Amino acid sequence: MEWSVMFMGPVGSGKTTAVKTISDIDVVSTDERATDDVQSLKSHTTVAMDVGVLALGEKDKLRIYGTPGQDRFDFMWEILLEQSKGVLLIIDHSASDPVAELDHYYQNLMQRVQHRSVPIVVCISHMDAHPAKGLEPYHAYFRDRLGLAAESVPPILSMDARNKPQVRAALVVMTALLEMVERFPKAQHLRRV
């Protein structure tokens, strides 16, 4: 079995770091010097993709694609979504309005995958910045703003992109969802997860 998973989210959320943390190979990276407003956040940014591989066993592996966070590179989201079976949507908890960022990326993702079932796991990074807020605002987004039933809400996890066990745990959840979609492709409750 070989699946591809895309890491998507805003600039600085930890996509490149997570790919580098979990990959069993040297990551193919397209980080370039930031030349726009991103340079106030970090010196380099992904302009095409990061590519890594995680071996799951002797024959099984995950191909991992990290996307650029800037909207001007959203054409890469399209390209990488065509290759990907699932998406880890990584949101920066320390951003000024992380729920607005979740909405922006989730809505963009839904527009692009409406023709097929794509499992999504929402990973909240930089939780140490505001630990008291917890994960409830993200649950409320799906429950209150989108009106999704509990079984349709994607898994929402706290994840430090530098912590290999936490990134691995997010990918374990993702592979479980991928396996469920593969085994039960017509299951209603898996369509929007």
- Buried/exposed code over 8-39 (b: 16+ C-beta within 10 A; e: otherwise): bbbbbbbbbbbbbbbbeeebebbbeebeeebe
d(CA 28, CA 183): 32
**Measured between alpha carbons, how far is residue 103 from residues 19, 36, 108 in Å?**
23, 23, 8
Task: Calculate mean pLDDT across residues 143-167.
Answer: 88
Q: What are the boundaries of each domain within the chain? A: 2-190
**How confident is the model over 54-77, as pLDDT tens digits?**
888 788 888 999 887 667 667 777
**pLDDT tens-digit readout, 6-64:** 999 998 889 889 999 998 888 766 655 655 565 555 544 554 578 888 888 788 888 99
Please report the pLDDT score of residue 37 as a whole number: 62
Statement: 2-190 belongs to CATH 3.40.50.300: yes
* Whole-structure pTM value: 0.83
